[in-house]
């Protein structure tokens, strides 16, 4: 937990209205959901069309100014992409000029922990953890911050991977990779856990109670055995074997814990 | 496959620019990615703030006018939500007036099939299948279409679930549930499959070839044993047991197939 149990203030953009007892504003909860999500969905507007755009991206929250910051501290979101892509160009344009706060973006991170099956179709649900952040994205230009973000993001995919790859990066690699930094304006999370629930009139209906199965189908992400590339010459190292084991055990436990009646 | 191998036309909004050999415009591929995704991310703009909003939602593509349509045919996207939620109100406002095409939305569906580990951090990747649709959302008002969409969406979560629940829906249930129909304007998919690849200067470097593990960590979603609710009185029925078995086998095979060198 962060030292002060910080929360994002409830404003128009981030306040959970529907089933608002599921809403969470604690930075620690929101940042944990984001940092454990393998794909973030990033939305932004472009000048040329009426539709917002969503890109699936890889990212991670951290603090370049204070790398020892906790998950519960104010953090920036770093997003990884190709340097000449549309989102990087918009982020670059948003960084220019003294007044520029950056490009307004929304970032969503969602995990499914189970399918919740009830007597009525309308009482079906998911167990899930979802977070949304709003902020302003600018392109990272300082090389030290870019290196910090690349290491942060690489190690978020496989812990300790960065120092187990070929280092240092070449100048061509650094030049072709863009990093966006999102300064967070607000955020919220919505979490559903627990067993199935039905309305009273279904609970009192003996016929449906005796015929409809109710409960949770727990769902989690699993990693199969590592498949070496045709040019690999090395045994599976511990940073990968340990990660695969933890990944499978932790994810399974999370989905089973979520299914317990609250 | 659809009867004519239909594709969405390449326009400014949907054309894949970065690594464009990964871009796919076939309706059948795009619709299959969307319909197998448990959470869709839906983005739209609101009048009150500069940020687009992303909501995680449950949805499914289909055709009310021609329910026998294939995945490769032109289809609408149906999204499920609470009737008084912000997105439903915006969808309702977008439906009014003769000129109203509906609220512009972007919908993203993403699957991770594996982590691709290379010698260089910058050559790391995911095996993934992602799709994006652009379209206009309006609120479904006709009861028959609403029932069609509810059954379609319920059966997309667990096949054959609809007729294994308490039927018919009550009028209160129908009134409290909103369905948005998105008429698709364009779409595209991006797919990455295969083994790790590295640049020539890393392949020629004997030191890193002998020290860095390269390959794919296949990832898929798994369902654990069904956990009955405290008020359940029924054995796990075949529509659930069969689904859990197929879900686990099909997802695992997909992640292993994706890891094969292409």
| DSSP states along chain A | --TT--BPPP-TTT---TTGGGEE-BHHHHHHHHHT-S-EEEEE--TT-SS-EEEEEEEEEE-SS-TT--TTS--EEEEEEETTSHHHHHHHHHH-STT---EEEEEEEEEEEEEEE-SSGGG-EEEEEEEEEEEEEEE---HHHHHHHHHHHHHHHSTT-GGGS--SPPHHHHHHEEEEEEEEEEEEEEEE-S-----HHHHT-HHHHTT---EEEEEEEEE---EE-TT--SPPPHHHHHHHHHHHHHHHHHHHHHHS--
CA atoms within 13 A on the CB side of B11: 12
Check residues A60 and B24 and name the one with the higher pLDDT: A60
Tens of pLDDT along chain A (262 residues)?
Answer: 445 689 998 887 787 777 777 788 999 999 999 999 999 999 999 988 899 999 999 999 999 999 999 999 999 999 997 666 777 777 777 766 655 789 999 999 999 999 999 999 999 999 999 999 999 999 999 999 999 999 999 999 999 999 999 999 999 999 888 999 999 999 999 999 999 999 999 999 999 999 999 999 999 999 999 999 999 999 999 999 999 999 999 999 999 999 997 7
Tokens of A90: 């918009």
> What's the predicted TM-score (pTM) here?
0.94
Asked if the model's pLDDT at residue B101 lies above 70, the reply is yes
- Inform me whether the C-beta atom of residue B97 falls under 8 Å from chain A C-beta atoms: no
Predicted-complex ipTM score: 0.94
Chain A residues close to B160, C-beta within 8 Å:
none
Say yes or no for a CB contact (<8 Å) between B237 and A213. Answer: yes
What is d(CA B116, CA A229) in angstroms, rounded to the nearest whole number? 9
Please check the confidence at residue B16 and state whether its pLDDT lies above 90: no
CB A30 within 8 A of CB A24: yes
Residue A157 and residue B13: Cβ atoms within 8 Å? no
Mean of the per-residue pLDDT values of chain B: 92
- In this predicted structure, the answer to whether residue B1 has a pLDDT above a threshold of 60 is no
Distance from C-alpha of A46 to C-alpha of A50, rounded to nearest angstrom: 8
Sort out which chain B residues have CB atoms less than 8 A from A164's CB and list them: 212-213
B246 to chain A nearest CA, in Å?
Answer: 14
| B211 lies within 8 A of chain A by CB | yes
Cβ-nearest to B44 among A52, A157, A219: A52
Give the integer Cα–Cα distance in Å for A126 and B226: 14
Cβ within 8 Å of B, A 122-141: 122, 124, 126, 128, 130, 132, 134-135
Q: Which alpha helices (DSSP H) does A36-120 contain, by range?
A: 86-95
CA B154 – CA A50 distance, rounded (Å): 31
pLDDT recorded at residue B83: 62
- The pLDDT of residue A84 is 62
Hey, which residues 17-36 in chain B have their CB within 8 Å of chain A? 17-19
Tell me, what's the pLDDT at B23?
A: 81
- pLDDT of residue B107 exceeding 50: yes
B254 in Cβ contact with B32 (< 8 Å): no
Cβ contact, residue pair A108, B54, below 8 Å:
yes
Q: Does B68 touch chain A (CB under 8 A)?
A: no
The CA distance from A108 to the nearest CA of chain B, in Å, is 6
Yes or no, beta carbons of A231 and B220 under 8 Å apart: no
- Alpha-carbon distance A126 to B164, whole Å? 18
Among A56, A185, A213, beta carbon nearest to B108: A56
Contacts of B214 in chain A (CB under 8 A): 228-229, 231-232, 234
Chain B residues with beta carbon closer than 8 angstroms to that of A19? 82
Reported as a single tens digit per residue, the pLDDT across B182-219 is: 999 999 999 999 999 999 999 999 999 999 999 999 99
pLDDT per residue as tens digits for the range B135-159: 999 999 999 999 999 999 999 999 9
Q: Which residues contact B217 (CB under 8 A, 6 or more apart)?
A: A158, A223, A224, A226, A227, A240, A244, B114, B115, B117
Cβ(A221)–Cβ(B38) under 8 Å? no
pLDDT computed for residue B81 by the predictor: 76
Token digits of residue B147: 């029932």
- B156 lies within 8 A of chain A by CB: no
């Amino acid at each position: 937990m962060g030292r002060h149990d910080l929360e994002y203030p409830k404003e128009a953009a981030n306040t959970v209205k529907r089933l608002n007892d599921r809403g969470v504003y604690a930075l620690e909860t929101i940042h944990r959901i984001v940092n454990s999500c393998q794909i973030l969905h990033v939305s932004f507007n472009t000048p040329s069309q009426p539709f917002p755009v969503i890109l699936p991206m890889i990212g991670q929250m951290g603090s370049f100014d204070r790398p020892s910051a906790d998950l519960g501290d104010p953090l920036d979101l770093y997003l990884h992409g190709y340097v000449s892509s549309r989102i990087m160009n918009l982020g670059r344009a948003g960084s220019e000029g003294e007044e520029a706060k950056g490009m307004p973006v929304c970032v969503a991170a969602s995990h499914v922990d189970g399918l919740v099956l009830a007597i009525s179709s309308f009482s079906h649900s998911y167990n899930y953890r979802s977070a949304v952040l709003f902020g302003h994205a600018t392109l990272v230009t300082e090389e030290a911050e870019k290196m910090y973000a690349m290491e942060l993001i690489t190690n978020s995919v496989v812990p300790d991977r960065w120092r187990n790859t070929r280092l240092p990066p070449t100048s061509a690699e650094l030049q072709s990779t863009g990093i966006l930094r999102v300064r967070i304006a607000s955020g919220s999370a919505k979490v559903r856990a627990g067993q199935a629930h039905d309305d009273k009139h279904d609970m009192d209906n003996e016929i449906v109670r005796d015929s409809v199965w109710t409960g949770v189908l727990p769902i989690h992400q699993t990693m199969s055995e590592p498949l070496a590339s045709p040019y690999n010459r090395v045994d599976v190292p511990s940073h990968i074997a340990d990660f695969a084991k933890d990944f499978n055990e932790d994810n399974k436990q999370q989905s089973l814990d979520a299914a317990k009646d609250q």
